[in-house]
Amino acid sequence: MDESRLSFTSTTCSKGHLRVLVIIPAYNEQECILNTVAAIKAAGYDYVVINDGSQDTTLELCREHGINILDLPQNLGIGGAVQAGHKYAQRFGYDIDIQVDGDGQHDPSYIPELVKLIESGASLAIGSRFLVETDGFQSTFMRRVGIRWLSFLLELLTGKVVTDPTSGFRACNKDAIDLFCKSYPDDYPEPESIALAMKLGLPVMEAPVKMNERQGGRSSIGGFSSVYYMVKVTLAIVLVCWVHRGDK
């Protein structure tokens, strides 16, 4: 990513002794972005919206409401948008960054649980919908099957269990931020980035979280794209684990 084409601004606050930034990647989230940002602000966190070349009014709404936004020069995909958020966090010296979806699926009230895992030694903390016994949103049956396959694959190749490898509700410490600023997958990055972190010896932990249904917009994964997703991510995880098989 060419950082010279990006304009960085920062607002600063901290939670306790750690500086925490919430990263909100957004692509065509005009129906949800204002409520998502309002919830983050109400919880008292610094945040940045990463507008990934939205073709709707996401950018205009954010500017109209004075929302802190980083406007990418073109659509980079979710991986590029999240990496831009990590670079923002790194540039402004945040200790922890938290990734949440722009569609309202992730409840900010669970952020402290992810921060606690970071404070206890995790480099990457993942919010898992499968560790909480509630009626929270669990995704479709076929997607749950896919998630279980990826969980099995990660355990097979790394020896470690991650119950919700596709979760986009995640926290990173400075070690993980630095890693992901250097290397981050372009498409469907969550499972592959977990494999990368674990193969390089970064501690990965999970916390139970309840997730909501999308508050608007539509998922980019469905139909044929879901088949492409599973094949691509499976191959990517295998490749990452093979390339870094001797690393720690």
CA pair distance 80, 1, nearest whole angstrom: 8
Tens digits of residue pLDDT in 16-72: 589 999 999 999 999 999 999 999 999 999 999 999 999 999 999 999 999 999 999
Q: pLDDT exceeding 90 applies to what percent of the chain?
A: 77
pLDDT reported for residue 9: 47
Q: Is the pLDDT of residue 135 over 80?
A: no
CA pair distance 176, 171, nearest whole angstrom: 9
The stretch 169-183 carries a mean pLDDT of: 99
Choose among 6, 18, 7: nearest CA to 98. 18
Average pLDDT score, the chain: 90
CATH level 2 (architecture), domain 3-243: Alpha-Beta Complex (3.90)
Domain boundaries, the chain: 3-243
pLDDT reported for residue 227: 83
CA pair distance 218, 225, nearest whole angstrom: 13
pLDDT reported for residue 218: 57
pTM: 0.88
Sheet holding 96-99, edge to edge: 69-71, 46-51, 20-26, 96-99, 170-172, 124-128, 204-208
Q: Which of 35-44, 74-83, 125-134, 168-177 has the lowest mean pLDDT?
A: 125-134
CA distances from 194 to 3, 54, 109 (A): 24, 27, 23
pLDDT reported for residue 16: 57
Confidence of residue 11 (pLDDT cuts 50, 70, 90): very low
